[in-house]
């Protein structure tokens, strides 16, 4: 079976494993106050071009979202997200389990706009019954989005300005940040992301690490006591240095020379190759993605053959005979597997 159903099918990039082996018997303090973590923090601060950026590490994305959002909200406050947002759909109500409502806005290509947020908050504030409704306090976006799409720099700036205007926080889920930033359609750098959000995270789990997400706070009012919350939400890893070691390997080197970007570029390139190949066969895409997730609309008959040899994510039914599916590439995807998939599709398409 050749697997394309997600971007966490393999372990870690070999350089990460090597470093974990090399450092294995070093003795370090627990909970992320070791020197590996400190070096990784320094490297990330270089990436975001702010020596004061506050950086912590957690194990996974859902854990990160629920911990960061719990740190940002009082009991009566909620978080605005696209109705396709990961926290709204695929985290088993983890945000609600911390007591907060996810306030959904209809997505457009997986995104929400500054205008939508502005309208929502204005309507809330103008409503004489507003105290009977959850108060919006945070805006959650993803980059790349769950649909593989990207916010432009202008869109992100607009969202950030709107948040500041209404005293809201902007939080960006970067589970696929590398794949977003290295897309040919991206006009953002990590420093831009930092500048135009209050807090965001750099996804490691889907981008070369065994596991791990690096949370970066730009807004210094928000991270007081954050480590208490990390512990309370079950995320303060005993052997915290495992996270430091991994992020150190990912971000060693200058600017976009780092492993993190190189492996992201690889995944994006193969994703675009796949997309172009599928389009060349006459198929349409459900969503026009420029990142590592691709969503072709395929005949169910073709999918029947496909599923004997490949795994993919089922996205949704499009019509009686067609479905949208998801293929993911990643840092670990082999080009020969993409070629094989395209050649099989070509054969089955005739």
* 210 vs 258 by CB, closer to a copy of itself: 210
Choice between 48 and 328, CB closer to a copy of itself: 328
Shortest Å distance, C-beta 290 to a copy of itself: 23
278: left (phi over 0), alpha (psi -120 to 50) or beta: alpha
Taking the complex as a whole, the smallest distance from the CB of residue 325 to a copy of itself amounts, in Å, to 13
DSSP 15: H
DSSP for 141-208, written as a single string: EESS-TTS----HHHHHHHHHHHHHTT-EEEEE-TTHHHHHTSTT----HHHHHHT-SEEEEE-TTTT
Tell me how far, at minimum, the Cβ of 327 lies from a copy of itself, in Å: 14
Rounded Cα distance, 98 and 69, in Å: 9
Nearer to a copy of itself, 18 or 276 (CB): 18
Q: CA-to-CA distance for 55 and 36, rounded, in angstroms?
A: 13
Contact partners, residue 235, CB within 8 Å, separation at least 6: 58, 59, 63, 64, 67
Q: What tokens does 8 get?
A: 């966490």
Peptide bond into 144 cis (omega under 30): yes
Is 45:247 a contact under the CB 8 Å cutoff? no
Alpha carbons within 13 A on the beta-carbon side of 53: 30
Q: How far is the CB of 50 from a copy of itself (least distance, A)?
A: 24
Q: Which of 208, 350, 232 is nearest to 281 (CA)?
A: 350
We find the least distance from the C-beta atom of residue 34 to a copy of itself, in angstroms, to be: 10
Q: Quote the least distance from Cβ 258 to a copy of itself, whole Å.
A: 21
Kindly tell me which of 170 and 236 has the beta carbon lying closer to a copy of itself.
236
- Work out how close the CB of 101 gets to a copy of itself at its nearest, in angstroms, rounded to a whole number: 4
Give the Cα separation of 65 and 68 in Å (integer). Answer: 5
Q: Which is nearer to a copy of itself, 107 or 205 (CB)?
A: 205
Residue number, 129 or 350, with CB nearest to a copy of itself: 129
Comparing CA positions, the residue from 5, 59, 68, 69 lying closest to residue 32 is 59
Pick the closer one to a copy of itself by CB: 44 or 66.
66
Q: Choose between 52 and 126: whose C-beta lies nearer to a copy of itself.
A: 126
CA distances from 238 to 44, 58, 70, 145, 195 (A): 22, 11, 21, 31, 31
Q: Which residues pair with 328 in a beta bridge?
A: 293
Q: Which is nearer to a copy of itself, 20 or 342 (CB)?
A: 20
- Do 294 and 283 meet the contact criterion of CB atoms below 8 Å apart? no
Shortest CB 59 distance to a copy of itself, Å? 6
The least distance separating a copy of itself from the CB of residue 279, rounded to whole angstroms, comes to 26
């Amino acid at each position: 079976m050749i697997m394309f159903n997600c971007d966490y099918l393999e372990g870690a990039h070999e350089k990460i494993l090597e470093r974990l082996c090399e450092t294995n018997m070093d003795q370090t303090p627990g909970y992320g106050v070791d020197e590996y973590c400190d070096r990784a923090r320094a490297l990330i601060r270089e990436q975001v071009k702010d020596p004061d950026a506050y950086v912590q590490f957690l194990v996974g994305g859902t854990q990160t979202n629920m911990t960061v959002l719990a740190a940002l909200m009082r009991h009566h406050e909620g978080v605005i997200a696209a109705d396709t947002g990961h926290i709204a759909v695929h985290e088993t109500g983890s945000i609600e389990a911390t007591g907060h409502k996810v306030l959904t806005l209809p997505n457009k290509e997986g995104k929400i706009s500054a205008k939508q947020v502005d309208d929502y908050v204005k309507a809330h504030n103008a409503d004489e019954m507003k105290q009977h409704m959850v108060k919006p306090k945070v805006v959650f976006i993803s980059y790349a989005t769950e649909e593989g799409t990207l916010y432009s720099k202008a869109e992100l700036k607009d969202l950030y300005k709107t948040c500041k205007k209404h005293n809201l926080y902007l939080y960006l889920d970067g589970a696929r940040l590398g794949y977003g930033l290295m897309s040919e359609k991206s006009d953002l750098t990590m420093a831009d992301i930092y500048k135009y959000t209050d807090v965001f995270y750099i996804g490691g789990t889907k981008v070369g690490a065994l596991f791990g997400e690096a949370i970066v706070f730009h807004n210094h009012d928000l991270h007081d006591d954050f480590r208490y919350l990390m512990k309370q939400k079950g995320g303060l890893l005993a052997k915290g240095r495992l996270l430091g070691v991994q992020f150190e390997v990912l971000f060693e080197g200058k600017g976009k020379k780092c492993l993190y970007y190189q492996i992201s570029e690889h995944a994006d390139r193969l994703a675009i190759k796949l997309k172009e190949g599928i389009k060349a066969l006459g198929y349409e895409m459900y969503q026009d993605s420029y990142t590592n997730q691709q969503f072709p609309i395929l005949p169910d008959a073709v999918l029947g053959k496909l599923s004997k040899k490949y795994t993919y994510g089922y996205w949704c039914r499009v019509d009686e005979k067609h479905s949208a599916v998801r293929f993911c590439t990643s840092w670990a995807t082999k080009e020969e597997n993409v070629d094989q998939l395209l050649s099989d599709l070509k054969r089955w398409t005739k």
